[in-house]
Structures are given as structure tokens and as C-alpha cells.
Amino acid sequence: MTLKTVEGLRSEIFVPNIPKAVFNELKKPLSECKVAFITAGGIHNKKDKPFNTSGDFSYREIPFDTPSSELMVTHGGFDNSDINKDVNAMFPIDRLHELVEEGFIGSLPEVTYTFMGGGGNVEKFREETGPEIAKKLKEQGVDVVLCTGGCGTCHRSATIVTRACEEAGMSCVVIAALPPIARQQGAPRIAAAHVPIGSNAGEPNNVEMQMGILKDSLEWVRDCPSYNQTKMLPYEYRHNV
């Protein structure tokens, strides 16, 4: 049988287009690594300009010595109530300092970067936002990058930026509430607990769960055998609205 093609004909069958593999094996102990945390969840300093909730590809700088009480969320794509209770549910800045004090990780960079991935311009994230964030983290000597996303579109944007960080030579993981999206978009590694959107890093004010998710995600960066693999984490939290 001879197969024929017709110019201009398009299939009605959706075929996922997974991006090329990007994967850097972590070659240092976690205790010696400088670890950054970025998020597409719309977290920013209270004194900063809020994100445009109808679509925004800009990012904000957050010094890692910022008190968590000075951070807030601006995002219209998911329920923000858990973050309003405890910003560590999406951006676990307090837990990261505790991991340094414990010696589980080596250090944190002076500054990290956050963005609002919902409704974002894919090309802008791929060509501008992602490479800019990756360059700035790499210049600070970052070894590992963890990332969370809020809504479904945020998970796409989070994965795009995380891939840019991986391409720049860092080892990265998306901590996802919607792991299939991160996987389809080509995240280098995915870690996912059974949590609602907005609480990717754990139930608000549940220090034990947040620490468990962070530690297990970091260990997955170290232990993941190959590109685009998902690790389901043994934590569950249901948000009762």
C-alpha cells in the first residue's frame, strides 16, 4: 500500500508535541547545593506592582531574606485562599531557610524570581522571561531550581521557565498540582503530592507536610533517572471550600 499526503491537509486528531529533552544530572550532594525556588503562582512583595491577572509575562525579584509576612499573591486563575493563609503553601520561603539551617541543602541565592503564569504569552516566556530568569540564577551560582505553578496555564509557563533553567545547566523539578500538564510540556522532572491548585508545596501552616514535599522533591532532583519522569509524593491535603 502506498501512503499519500495532501498539501495543506490537517488531521483532526490531537497529537501532543513534547519538547526536546533537557536533563542535567545532579553531581553534587544536596548539602553542598545552592537551591533556588521560583513560582508561576503570582507571588510578589506587597510593595511591588501587582501582576496583570488578564495576562502577564513579567517577573518580580524577591530577596531571600524577605519575611514571608511581606509577600502576597495576585492571580485570578485559582483560589488564592490557601496562599493568603500561608504563602509557604506555594512559595515555601520559610521552609527553605530551615533546610539550610538543618544542613539538608547548602545555601540559597540572594535573590529569586516569581511570575504570574496564567494567560501568559508562550513565546515571551520561552524567548524572554525564561532565559532571563535562568541567566540571573546561573550568575548567582545556583545548582538546583524548584518551581511551582498555579492554574493549568501556570503549569505550562512554569515548565517553560524551568526548562530554560535546565538548559542553562541547573537541575530542576516542577512541584506540580497538575502533573500531566507539566509532563506534556516537557518538564525535566515532576514531583506531585495529592494537593489542590494553590497548595503545591503543602497544606497552609502544615510545616511537616511542607518540609516533606520539599525534601522529597529535592531528593527526586538527585535520584531521578531520566528526563520527564514523575514522582508521586505520599502527602494528601483536601481544601474544603
In three-state secondary structure terms, 221 is helix
What is residue 232's predicted lDDT score, i.e. its pLDDT? 98
Rounded CA separation 125/191 (Å)? 22
Each residue's pLDDT tens digit, 150-208: 899 999 999 999 999 999 999 999 999 999 999 999 999 999 999 999 999 999 999 99
Each residue's pLDDT tens digit, 89-143: 999 999 999 999 999 999 999 999 999 987 768 899 999 999 999 999 999 999 9
What integer is the mean pLDDT of 224-236? 97
What is residue 19's predicted lDDT score, i.e. its pLDDT? 86
Nearest to 175 by CA among 213, 136, 133: 213
Rounded CA separation 52/237 (Å)? 29
What is residue 76's predicted lDDT score, i.e. its pLDDT? 87
Residue 77: is its pLDDT beyond 90? no
Rounded CA separation 234/161 (Å)? 26
Each residue's pLDDT tens digit, 30-66: 999 999 999 999 999 999 999 998 888 999 999 999 9
Nearest to 106 by CA among 190, 207, 197, 31: 31
Q: What CATH code is assigned to 30-236? A: 3.40.50
What ranges do the domains of the chain cover?
30-236
The whole-model pTM stands at 0.91
Each residue's pLDDT tens digit, 9-21: 565 665 566 789 9
